[in-house]
Amino acid sequence: MNKIDEIKAYVELCEEEGYKFQHLDNLKYLLQEIDTLKTNVEYWEPMANRLAESVEILQRESRRYAQVGAEAIEERDRLRKSVDERKGSILNRQAILDVLNSFEVVDQSGGEDCYILVENSQVNRSKLNAVGVSSKTIDKYGDHETFCILSLAFGENYADFWASGLTLYGPIDNDLRERVGTGQGTPVDADRLLKALNLAEKQLEYVKEALQERIPGTSDDLAAWLYSTLPFLDEEEPK
């Protein structure tokens, strides 16, 4: 028997004997308050347990979402790094084209079997070596006397087209979009922009599906926001 049960027994005994004490009324009031508290505890305890379980679930989900978010940010940073590396590659390609365009042409021909030959000299080879073109690569496009800068440029994906020289396409930026939108762009500009938009749609769908697979219930708006932090729209598919 605990203390509360002892007090109850004492109060019941006093009432049976007909005792009337002030402290007896105080004890009866105290026992009523204890019963009320016990009732409240019995009512609230299951709710408190459920709340504790909910908090634990939320903590687990929060950790999971934090991990997914960290992975998404890591993937975004990886993509940004890839784009930065590609931009560096583009700058290097332009340096190569600058060297190729600077060479003195010894022979050339247009048409279906066009070629532009330059002297296969140590000076020319050294200039190309200096911007990252190996001697082995040069040898693929000529003989001991000459090599073809057209074949080299397009065969190694250094150039996008030839006009008055080997040239790289400019970036897909607001200037290009404005030229196409106002009708001042070329058919090539419009075609490149259309391909970039088609690529962007595919990439957005990929981001949405990846997020919704990892975090069920992810809204299209959230997926679009994450996509907007990535640099896809300013890039074309690798050649």
Per-residue pLDDT of the chain (239 residues; tens, 9 = 90+): 567 777 777 777 777 777 676 677 777 777 788 778 778 777 777 877 787 888 888 777 777 777 777 777 777 777 666 655 555 555 578 888 889 999 999 999 887 788 999 999 999 999 999 988 999 999 999 999 999 999 999 888 888 777 777 766 666 677 778 878 888 877 777 887 887 777 777 777 777 777 667 666 666 666 666 656 555 444 444 44
Q: Would residue 46 count as lying in a domain?
A: no
- HSE of 36 in the Cβ direction (CA atoms, 13 Å)? 6
- Domain total in the chain: 1
Q: Would residue 195 count as lying in a domain?
A: yes
Q: Would residue 206 count as lying in a domain?
A: yes
Q: Would residue 133 count as lying in a domain?
A: no
Q: What is the pLDDT of residue 164?
A: 73
Q: Would residue 28 count as lying in a domain?
A: no
Q: Would residue 223 count as lying in a domain?
A: yes
Return the percent helix, strand and coil in the chain, to nearest 5: 70, 10, 25
Its pTM stands at 0.43
Q: Would residue 52 count as lying in a domain?
A: no
Question: What does the block give as tokens for 33?
Answer: 């308050």
| Interior/surface letters 181-191, b for 16+ CB within 10 angstroms, e for the rest | eeeebeeebee
Q: What is the pLDDT of residue 143?
A: 94
Strands 161-162 and 105-109: unpaired
- Domain containing 196 equals 169-239
Q: Would residue 207 count as lying in a domain?
A: yes
